[in-house]
Amino acid sequence: MWVNKVFEFYREVQDANARAIFWGLLALAGDNSIPGYICFTENIGFTIEQLCEKLYTSDTDIKSAFAVLEGARVIKILDKNIIKVLHWEKYQSEYDRQKPYRNKQKQAKVTSKVTSKGYKQSYRVEVEGEREVEVRSKKKEVKSTKDFRVKEIIDYFFDKHLEITENKVLIDGGKDGKTIKGMLAAFGPDDLKRRIIAFLTDKDKWLDGKRRDIGMFKSQINKYGIKKEVELTNVREVK
């Protein structure tokens, strides 16, 4: 029974702060596209600051809870700040058991419009596990509107930044995701990757000491559109 699992956890973890933060981590792991893991993408985890915002707590409490929870072997912190909930299956079973009840309480929100051809077209629907899907009632098909290229470019920027500067760049999931989506519409993935390399290898003294993050890249992106070829002698690969 779920109650037994709760008491088992309370026996293993007796620190009240760690207990509270763990329930928040469980919620994040259950809501993630990779169940049982807490991360922005499969290659990038959240920073302590981002977790503080999500869980409404302080960095001191987060770090203290992580020490307790790792010691009790209920979580494991992997590379790039990715958090894994150990024995996730025992928590997942309860999540699945309650899913029918959650679905009854959650109603789809549909916005409709009448097209020029006179048939009704529903174009925004909120469903479990998806932020937004597109539904065309005439053809009765469901099409996801999520652009998977955004994740590809963010991973590329993170990896190349680490390779070239030997420092990790801070990624703000929502803000940077929206920024990358806009740049993809303007330049396309291949051109955007070339500009990322040009930006990260730019020896302009004005950039010295400044954070070469996605926000700064956006402000400088047009600077790298004149030359198609970029000197890559100090970079092992581009794609």
- Sorted by sequence, the CB contacts under 8 Å of residue 211 that are 6+ apart come out as 169, 170
SS3 104: helix
Q: What is the CATH number of domain 2-97?
A: 1.10.10.10
pTM of the model: 0.42
What pLDDT, on the 0 to 100 scale, is given for residue 192? 93
HSE-up (13 A, CA, CB side) for residue 88: 19
- Annotated domain spans of the chain: 2-97, 108-144, 149-224
Q: Retrieve residue 142's tokens.
A: 């469901």
Question: What parts of the chain have a pLDDT lower than 50?
Answer: 1, 106-144, 227-239
Q: Angle at Cα 106 formed by Cα 101 and Cα 110, nearest 5°?
A: 150
What pLDDT, on the 0 to 100 scale, is given for residue 19? 87
User: Across the strands, what pairs with 57?
Assistant: none
User: Across the strands, what pairs with 92?
Assistant: none
What pLDDT, on the 0 to 100 scale, is given for residue 3? 55
